[in-house]
Amino acid sequence: MADRLARALAYGGTVGALAAVTTGLVEEARRRHGTAPTATAALGRALTGALLLAATIKRDERLSLEFSGDGPLRGVLADATPDGDARGFVLRPGTHLPPRRGKLDVGGALGRGLLCVMRVPLADGALYRSVVPLESGEIGADLAGYLLASEQTRAAVGVGVFVDTDGRVVAAGGYLVQALPGAADQALDAVASRIERVATPSELVRDGLGPVDMLQALVGDELSLLGERPVRFRCRCSRERVAAAIVAMGRAEIESVLATDRHADVTCEFCSTRYELNERDLQGLLEAAAG
């Protein structure tokens, strides 16, 4: 099933709902970073959550999630755009813990700490930043806690990743259901009751449900579909960006590299793409720094 995200309204426009299938992009993230199963689950949940939240912000912004904890994983960073691009990494990709209650122990791997949410303008504008304590380290509950604490929005967030015995991602996905202005308690109670009975996101995806099917399971058949679009793992790094970063280091630093290594190897943290600049490349950047 192709990775996609769907958005809808329910209960007369007073409840907003989003659902996504992210199996392919999470598997690509696992492959790029070589993550162990627990780290894969943490990264996949964060990427899915970032996509869901990014779908609720302005088109001229991108959203960044940084989970920092005292557990062995140490941290997860994911960012996404409203157009459906996501990228991310974990600080310790080899992290793997024994399962807890039959599931990968993401909460134990992340531990106690903080969640920092940033909405970054793509052009001019003010950066929005909010920091809240991690409630569980399980990602979904922490995102719901952020929405309530920082945006005064009641929401249910579910994100899940199923990893096979060989480490591959078999299913990944998630949902976000939130109260909008005018939402009645009766409607919210009905939605909460349905969410309690529905399977986990990864189980829904394993059963073959797409994003629209997931929305119907979460809020019922009487929903108004706003749209559906593909989502993907895509990084913004490029050779040109790497060159610009080296130029920004200054002439002295480039001269030092030329005098010692005579080349520069740069690996993007977000996607593990490796860029190599040889001596001739560095000489050209040295001239650019001088100009």
Domain boundaries, given as residue ranges, for the chain: 4-233, 239-290
Instruction: Give the mean pLDDT of 63-87.
Output: 97
Instruction: Give the mean pLDDT of 3-10.
Output: 97
- Give the angle 267-268-272 at the CA atoms, nearest 5°: 80
Read off the pLDDT band of 291 (50, 70, 90).
low
Read off the pLDDT band of 261 (50, 70, 90).
confident
Residue 81, pLDDT score:
96
- How far is 68 from 59, CA to CA, in rounded Å? 27
pLDDT at 182 over 70: yes
Residue 264, pLDDT score:
87
Residue 247, pLDDT score:
87
Give the strand order in the sheet containing 4-10. 155-163, 169-179, 15-21, 4-10, 223-230
Mean of pLDDT over the chain: 94
User: For the chain, what's the residue count?
Assistant: 291
Q: What confidence tens digit (pLDDT) does each residue in 31-49 have? A: 999 999 999 999 999 999 9
pLDDT at 282 over 90: no
Of all residues in the chain, the percent with pLDDT exceeding 70 is: 100
Residue 286, pLDDT score:
81
Residue 31, pLDDT score:
98
Instruction: Give the mean pLDDT of 233-255.
Output: 89
Give me the architecture of the 239-290 domain, per CATH: Alpha-Beta Complex (3.90)
Q: What confidence tens digit (pLDDT) does each residue in 154-163 have? A: 999 999 999 9
| CATH code, 4-233 | 3.55.30.10
Residue 2, pLDDT score:
93
